[in-house]
């Protein structure tokens, strides 16, 4: 039986007003919750305290989740064109909007770390090299995913949707695994430096309870799949651990002093590195 026959537009024709309103509030809140992190990176012009591996794994997870929901909502988008009203269509695509905004919000953290901290005296040259390397890996992964998904959409097969949904499930599993792993290097980094650094506590205070609420919202969507909501439930649990660590260090450790010392150390290393590079350039060849 083809996947297309399993879906009916009737499932989208009786939207629940409360679920729709909750979904819209969450969509706005999801992206807004990343703004404190964006602002903190721009103000500090440093990624100190943020693990490059965390940024890479989180971006890969976010992009995989978006790939999943983009395919999962194919029937909803087809129904939007054929039978659904504007309100019914909006309700059917609330989950898509949420995951899209989440992916944009997290990936923008990575983009800002690479762009804003370039040539900043507060940014460790070693850390920046790791950031750019990881960012290139993310770009390669995203490009390959787009190429393969485009191929699946354009192949002429009767079971095309079955293959698309199989790829969606794979993307959901990848997103879940990466969501589970992504916080481990950040938890280690925070434990090592004993302060949040450029990691935003207000962002986590918004996202941790919001993650559980969002998971429930995605779970309650029409034709929802476990592979769409599970990554965000897993992330909420690990983010709670990270938030607890940051609050503990904030309360019981002199975080302002340790952050200032870390910035001073990075600045001294960068000045030393620049002086060493200039010295090598001025050294006679003979």
Question: What radius of gyration do the chain's Cα atoms show?
Answer: 22
**Token pair 């819209």: residue:** 24
Cα–Cα distance for residue pair 275/133, rounded to 1 Å = 24
pLDDT of residue 216: 83
Q: Summarize pLDDT for 176-223 with one digit per residue, the tens.
A: 889 888 889 999 998 888 888 888 889 999 888 888 887 887 787 776
Token digits of residue 214: 């969002």
Is 188 within 8 Å of 74 (Cβ atoms)? Answer: no
What is the pTM assigned to this prediction? 0.81
Q: Does the pLDDT value for residue 175 go beyond 50?
A: yes
Residue 89 CB-density burial (10 A; 0-12 exposed, 13-18 middle, 19+ buried): middle
The mean of the pLDDT values for the chain is 84
Give the other-Cβ count within 10 Å of 260's Cβ: 12
Tens-digit pLDDT profile for residues 81-134: 888 899 999 998 998 998 999 999 999 999 999 999 988 888 888 889 999 999
Summarize the confidence of residues 55-73 as an average pLDDT: 93
The Cβ of residue 241 has, within 10 Å, a number of other Cβ atoms equal to: 14
Tokens representing 5? 């026959």
């Amino acid at each position: 039986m083809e996947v297309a026959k399993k879906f009916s537009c009737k499932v989208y024709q009786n939207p629940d007003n409360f679920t729709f309103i909750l979904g819209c509030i969450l969509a706005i809140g999801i992206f807004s919750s990343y703004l404190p992190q964006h602002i903190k990176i721009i103000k500090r012009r440093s990624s100190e305290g943020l693990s490059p591996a965390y940024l890479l794994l989180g971006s890969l997870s976010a992009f995989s989740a978006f790939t999943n929901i983009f395919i999962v909502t194919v029937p909803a988008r087809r129904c939007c064109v054929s039978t659904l009203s504007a309100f019914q269509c909006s309700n059917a695509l609330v989950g898509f909007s949420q995951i899209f905004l989440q992916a944009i919000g997290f990936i923008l953290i990575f983009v800002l770390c690479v762009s804003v901290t370039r040539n900043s005296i507060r940014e460790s040259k070693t850390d920046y090299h790791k950031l750019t390397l990881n960012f290139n890996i993310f770009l390669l992964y995203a490009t390959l995913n787009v190429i393969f998904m485009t191929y699946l959409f354009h192949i002429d097969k009767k079971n095309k949707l079955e293959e698309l949904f199989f790829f969606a499930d794979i993307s959901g599993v990848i997103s879940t695994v990466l969501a589970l792993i992504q916080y481990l290097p950040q938890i280690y980094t925070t434990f090592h430096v004993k302060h949040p650094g450029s990691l935003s506590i207000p962002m986590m205070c918004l996202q941790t309870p919001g993650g559980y609420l969002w998971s429930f919202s995605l779970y309650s969507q029409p034709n929802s799949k476990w592979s769409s909501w599970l990554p965000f439930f897993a992330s909420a649990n690990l983010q709670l651990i990270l938030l607890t660590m940051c609050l503990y260090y904030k309360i019981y450790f002199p975080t302002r002093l340790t952050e200032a010392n870390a910035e001073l150390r990075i600045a001294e290393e960068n000045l030393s590195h620049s002086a060493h590079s200039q010295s090598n350039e001025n050294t006679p060849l003979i």
